[in-house]
Amino acid sequence: MTQSYWLERAWLGSGDVLDHVVVDVDDRRFTRVETGVASPPTDAVRLAGLTIPGLANCHSHAFHRALRGRTQRERGTFWTWREQMYAVAQRLDPDLYYDLARATYREMAASGITSVGEFHYLHHGPDGTPYDEPNVMGAALVQAAEDAGIRLALLDTCYLASGIGALPEGVQRRYSDGDATRWLERVQEIDRRDGVVTGAAIHSVRAVPRGEMRQVVEWAEWNGAPLHVHVSEQVAENEACVAAYAMTPTEILDEAGALGPRTSAVHATHLTPGDIGLLGRSETHACLCPTTERDLGDGVGPSRDLFAAGSPLTLGSDSHAVIDFFEEMRAVEMDERLVTQQRGHWSAEELHVAAAATGHASIGFGDGGRIEVGGWADLVTVDTTSLRTAGTGTGLESTAFSASAADVVHVVAGGRVVANRDDHREIGCELERAITAVWKGDR
């Protein structure tokens, strides 16, 4: 059945914001996009404010949502924070994982995210013993996203070592398949679902031995699947890699054939000029997660230099210190200002393209992120009269530099209404229940 929407103002994915746009939706896709329709059709749902395409969260660890607010009293570094993250990873079973992920994905939906790339490495039981159904944890994520109403790219992650030359220890044992061959065998058994992308990830150069990377790369090539990898998030990671191999992480990945247009280098923070050249010439996506990178004290990645070299920008909320893509967008620009002491590195349109069309393409949904006939029917409507957005103008600067996730009032994903302003309290209560159950260890 066709559903029509009349959009008071809309940005279709490129160009200017337009007034009075009518779209028709049928079978999860846009079947009509018409501009300049002054009078709403009688059967159309009216969406006041500014409507933009759905946003793509290209790097998520859903279980990290249980850490929000709970890690802020302790001083330290990424490495001390990681121990608290491991404590959450140790507690999860498939049912708890489903509950936490569904609530987290519902929060994403309410903030305007319609597709998510889940960097998934919680594969086995707490002691490393595979479940009877070896992909049950991934299946929990797939079901959680479906029930929350957003599309999922399950980026099944190869994680085999605790560091270069070191075996997994503690909770890391539940991440590891033992070697890349057994990772490949398990991934081949993942059930395929319509609207779900199955992709691959190399956790990092410290977690996947140099000689094991190629099998992951080849699987992604054979399947035309997205390939994601943490790259140079920490100085210590770079130092260990250079000490072991006399090469940077980016150079190791290039040697393994991992770089290219279907690949995303997540964080890409501490790079040499040579690294930037390799990533740019190969058109590898650079997935920045600014709210996480600042929360963990990672540093600021060279976003504009990467873009100028040829690496398309995408965004992720990673640890979910916040889930707010308007904040992620403006943080890319604001971080550049802090580093360079200059303003105006990224335009509002460039940031929106990164958060929408480019992000969707990088996780395997190349027909998302635009309001166009044949594309995924995703609509994110932002209140332009809130305390944050009132008086900020009619262009994309209003959303990129003023709005917050709290200003999202209506979300359609794949033709389905998945969130509106009235849902916020109920979603918050679901998050509270799920996170309380994780920390109590009961249901």
Residue 232: CA atoms inside 13 Å, Cβ hemisphere, count?
A: 27
What are residue 313's DSSP bridge partners? 286
225 closest CA partner among 260, 200, 250: 200
How many Å apart are CA 248 and CA 205, to the nearest integer?
A: 9
Sequential DSSP letters for 112-150 = TEEEEEEEE---S-TTSPPPSSTTHHHHHHHHHHHHHT-
How many Å apart are CA 204 and CA 290, to the nearest integer?
A: 19
In this structure, are residues 240 and 280 in contact, taking their beta carbons and an 8 Å threshold? no
Sequential DSSP letters for 7-46 = EEEE--SSS--EEEEEEEEETTEEEEEEE---S--TTEEE
In this structure, are residues 108 and 49 in contact, taking their beta carbons and an 8 Å threshold? no
**Residue 345 annotated among the catalytic residues of the structure:** no
Compute how many other C-beta atoms are within 10 angstroms of the C-beta atom of residue 36. 9
CA distances to 215, 250, 252 from 246, in Å = 22, 12, 10
Active-site annotation holder among 59, 203, 267, 285: 267
**Could you give the 3-state DSSP secondary structure of residue 97?**
helix
**Contacts of 342 by beta carbon, 8 Å cutoff, 6+ apart:** 336
How many Å apart are CA 427 and CA 248, to the nearest integer?
A: 43
In this structure, are residues 105 and 151 in contact, taking their beta carbons and an 8 Å threshold? no
Residue 136: CA atoms inside 13 Å, Cβ hemisphere, count?
A: 15
**Residue 267 annotated among the catalytic residues of the structure:** yes
DSSP E strands, 278-415: 285-288, 313-315, 379-382, 408-413
How many Å apart are CA 38 and CA 340, to the nearest integer?
A: 45
How many Å apart are CA 344 and CA 347, to the nearest integer?
A: 7
Backbone angles phi, psi at 33, to 5 degrees: -135, 115
Active-site annotation holder among 318, 335, 378, 407: 318
Which sequence positions are flagged as catalytic? 267, 318
